[in-house]
Amino acid sequence: MLHVDLDQFIAAVEVLRRPELVGKPVIVGGRGDPTERAVVSTASYEAREFGVGSGMPLRIAARRAPDAIILPVDHEAYNEASAEVMATLRAQPGAVVQVLGWDEAFVGVQTDDPEAYAHALQRAVLERTRLHCSVGIGDTLVRAKVATGFGKPQGVFRLTAENWLRVMGARPTVDLWGVGSKISRRLAAIGISTVAQLAAADPDADGLVAEFGPRMGPWFAQLGRGDGARVVDDAPWVARGHSRETTYQHDLTGASQIDEAIRELTAQVLADVAAEGRPVVGLALKVRYAPFITKTFTKKVPETFDRAEVLARVMELVERIEPDRPVRLLGLRAEMRMPEEARDGHTPTRSGW
DNA sequence: TCTGGGGTCCTAGGACCC
DNA sequence: TCTGGGGTCCTAGGACCC
């Protein structure tokens, strides 16, 4: 199967409709105002040379690349471009397409020459959308996904059982799809630093199960080998939930401000859920503080819920986190969960794995 | 230097039931 | 007086991805 990933997708879409930006450092983030609290969504390759990257606070990015053009995020434009790209993929002969996000998808296909197929696919995407993409070829979804990183930009790379360890073995576990900084640190603590070590690990004997549990432990060992699903699944996506999150430009202070914020957010997310016509089974409210503190308040909910109760719980959290100090609430995220579909209950099923 | 917004899935521990 | 075991649900939180 193939994994297709658009190169610097958001920045590329912006440059396409503003040709005068070609070759210039372009940063897309927030409302395009670097004095606001926001982060970088995408930076063009020219901007990356200044050390600007995704997830960086916009304020910092603007300081590092003072001459960069900073643009607001335009979801509509990216949705349209993405739809064109996905339609192009589906139009390829024999292609089964599993969309992973705005700018990436798995493509399942039977072919004797995957490289030729990949190049044809890149040409088709470029012709129809004027966007460049990189393609990973693999015998599992994980290998195809990881392979794409070696193809960037505009290239094609193949990872299979044959060359997986040769290419990935010496690399740190954090290079794997699904292993982040926290997991890689915990792996290192039980003596597993490289992909090869993870691949060779016995989940029980080498402590993976003890550290991560009976499901995730064996799963990480499998990930180290690059093994896993080999089938691209184009079944229609069913959302498990919806959430709305907001970062306030000024910290919220006091119960009335917080109450109003909860009212707005929960109304928005309830509207999102109502649009799907499925009942809500749970609410999670995440309360964010600077720096880095997130507290969660989870509740099973019937059709409606009592906002006064929610406010009381948030104030309780606030007082627990910052006793004897004025409230400095930075952001809120309200998540509504919908009834879960039946799952096989056997292997972890994170999207795309 | 200071922190987006949309998602997904897993785990631990307590409550509760039988 | 002392104290089962298993299953399921709920809450709280953690981690990861794009």
The answer on A189 and A246 residing in a single domain is no
What is the tens place of the pLDDT at every residue in A150-200? 999 999 999 999 999 999 999 999 999 999 989 999 999 999 999 999 999
Q: What number is the average pLDDT over the span A287-304? A: 71
The answer on A7 and A143 residing in a single domain is yes
Q: What number is the average pLDDT over the span A67-91? A: 94
CATH of the domain at A189: 1.10.150.20
Question: Structural domain tally of chain A?
Answer: 3
What is the tens place of the pLDDT at every residue in A331-351? 778 887 777 654 444 444 444
Question: CA dihedral defined by A110, A129, A148, A233, rounded to 10 degrees?
Answer: -50
| Positions of chain B reached by protein Cβ under 7 A | 1-12
- With a cut of 50, say whether residue A18 has pLDDT above it: yes
Per-residue confidence (pLDDT) for residue A336, from 0 to 100:
79
CATH of the domain at A111: 3.30.70.270
Q: Which residue is nearest to nucleotide C18 (CA to C1')?
A: A101
CATH of the domain at A323: 3.30.1490.100
**How far is A296 from A277, CA to CA, in rounded Å?**
26
| Beta-ladder partners of A136 | A3, A157
Phi, psi dihedral angles at A286 (to 5 degrees): -110, 130
Residue among A230, A158, A168 at smallest CA distance from A200: A168
Using the structure block, give the residue that is written with the tokens 């060992």: A221
Per-residue confidence (pLDDT) for residue A345, from 0 to 100:
40
Q: Which residue is nearest to nucleotide C17 (CA to C1')?
A: A178
Per-residue confidence (pLDDT) for residue A302, from 0 to 100:
60
Distances (CA, A) of A329 to A70, A255, A256, A316, A325: 27, 11, 12, 13, 12
The answer on A111 and A208 residing in a single domain is no
- Specify the nucleotide whose C1' lies closest to residue A180 (CA): C16
- With a cut of 60, say whether residue A121 has pLDDT above it: yes
Residue A230: inside a domain: no
Percent of chain A with pLDDT over 90: 59
The gap between A213 CA and B13 C1' (Å) is 15
The answer on A148 and A248 residing in a single domain is no
Q: Which residue is nearest to nucleotide C11 (CA to C1')?
A: A298
**How far is A166 from A144, CA to CA, in rounded Å?**
15
Q: Which of residues 145-164 of A touch strand C (CB under 7 A)?
A: 145
The answer to whether the beta carbon of residue A282 comes closer than 7 angstroms to any atom of strand C is yes
The answer on A250 and A209 residing in a single domain is no
A213: domain range?
A: 175-222
Residue A228: inside a domain: no
Residue A139: inside a domain: yes
Distances (CA, A) of A307 to A285, A311, A312, A314: 12, 6, 8, 10
| Positions of chain C reached by protein Cβ under 7 A | 10-18
The answer on A301 and A183 residing in a single domain is no
- Specify the nucleotide whose C1' lies closest to residue A217 (CA): B10
The answer on A203 and A139 residing in a single domain is no
Residue A286: inside a domain: yes
pTM, 2 dp: 0.90
- Specify the nucleotide whose C1' lies closest to residue A297 (CA): C12
What is the tens place of the pLDDT at every residue in A230-253? 999 888 888 888 888 888 888 887
Residue A70: inside a domain: yes
